[in-house]
Structure 1
Amino acid sequence: MNRQQRSNLIEFQPRAFNAGTVEYINSQWVFFDEETEEAALVDEFIHQEVEVLRNNKWCKGFLLDNGCIQTGNEKFFLQDQELVRIRKQLIYSFERLLDELNDEAFVQFLNTLNSLNFSIYDCIYCYNHLTFLDNENGVSGVNFLVLDNEEMICNVQHHFDYHEKQNDRFEITMSTGKRAVIERIS
């Protein structure tokens, strides 16, 4: 699996965006999240990927200063009361963990989370022990994740053993008591 295929799997995960409207108030752009009804200055999202609904079509670009959106070689400006989706950022330690997983473990982990109605964008905590280890002679340990999809909480323990073979074991426990275990040995 190449980098683009991984990126596509990540890009099309559920709940990858905060959706809402923008308003121009007191000479500042303000984003109102439709789900939480919280307000935030649009400036907090500068240089992040956004999508703006124009002519019943989502236009993808990157947010610049003063409500400007860069799409390829074109630029356009936000309009008052416009629908906007702002891509959520993954927790850095979790993003690094996903990069460390081999392709089979990566796909199996994402598919299992999705089948349990969770998305990688639901991750609210990640302790990535791999980042503290020297991988020269092989490593083993456990990473800890907590995900919240607003209906349930999910705890994931990722046991890894990377020596002669690469072993990834994900022990998943949800707040409902439902459990799942997936293991990948390469």
Structure 2
Amino acid sequence: MERTEEKKQTKETGTVMKRKQLFSEKNKWGRGTLMIEDGICLVENDEGDILLADSLGNADVLMKRGGRWQPARICGGAAEIGTDTIPLLGGEEIRYEKAVKRPLLTLLDSLDDETFLLFLSHLHGFGLSVYDCVFSYNQALFSSEGVSFYHFSADEAQCALQHHRGSSGKHDRFEWTASDGRRSIMYSAARQDGTA
């Protein structure tokens, strides 16, 4: 019983470390411009994609007001900034906290600490961060074996990742291919049972 509790505590400590590491990643913030179309508040992000302001959910939002970025909450056609509620006209600049795609987050949570840090190091080597993930498919959500696919994209960098799961989650292989032709293969540092 004591051994099980110790394993659980170690896993929770690892998860906290991973979350702190992800919180400090670059490209965590997206930029956008608000648009009002037929009374609906939309955000046009830096890539030119249009999303509903409501789709930002509980993400932190900053709005430029008086030349300063201030915490804001968008509610329909208005923004709450401090104690003020101001009507949105369109054209307002915002910054919003990006989310890590859930299938990618599930993969990251499943990695041992050493492999997790190695994964981030590889990704940073391509000039990217976990917040640059634009497509994620995690086969492990459906089967214990198979291949998962991820695509990362930023202004200057593109990278595709194939994650080949070994039998029983052991000996995972990560194949990275960048748009500039660079390739890299990475193996998990430890087996899922904690042995090397």
- With the length of structure 1 as denominator, give the TM-score of the two structures: 0.71
Find the aligned partners of 2:43 and 2:32 in 1 and give their Cα distance: 7
In the TM superposition, what is the alpha-carbon distance from 1:5 to its structure 2 partner?
2.9
Q: Which has the higher strand share?
A: 1
Find the aligned partners of 2:137 and 2:36 in 1 and give their Cα distance: 39
Find the aligned partners of 2:175 and 2:147 in 1 and give their Cα distance: 10
Matched AA of 1:103? D
| Corresponding position of 1:151 | 156
- With the length of structure 2 as denominator, give the TM-score of the two structures: 0.69
Report if the CA contact (8 A) 1:14-1:119 is conserved: yes
Number of residue pairs aligned between Structure 1 and Structure 2: 176
Relative to structure 1, the CA distance from residue 10 to residue 37 in structure 2 (aligned partners, 3 Å threshold; closer, same or farther) is same
Relative to structure 1, the CA distance from residue 46 to residue 63 in structure 2 (aligned partners, 3 Å threshold; closer, same or farther) is farther
In the TM superposition, what is the alpha-carbon distance from 1:26 to its structure 2 partner?
6.5
**Mapping for residues 18-57 of structure 1, pairs under 5 Å:** 18-22=30-34, 29-33=41-45, 35-37=46-48, 40-53=51-64
Segments of 5+ residues of structure 1 without an aligned counterpart are: 134-138
| Corresponding position of 2:118 | 108
| Corresponding position of 1:126 | 136
Find the aligned partners of 2:18 and 2:159 in 1 and give their Cα distance: 23
Find the aligned partners of 1:75 and 1:12 in 2 and give their Cα distance: 29
| Corresponding position of 1:136 | none
SS at match of 2:188: strand
In the TM superposition, what is the alpha-carbon distance from 1:121 to its structure 2 partner?
2.0
SS at match of 2:140: helix
Relative to structure 1, the CA distance from residue 166 to residue 21 in structure 2 (aligned partners, 3 Å threshold; closer, same or farther) is same
State the superposition RMSD in angstroms: 3.2
Segments of 5+ residues of structure 2 without an aligned counterpart are: 1-12, 191-196
Find the aligned partners of 1:62 and 1:156 in 2 and give their Cα distance: 35
Relative to structure 1, the CA distance from residue 61 to residue 181 in structure 2 (aligned partners, 3 Å threshold; closer, same or farther) is farther
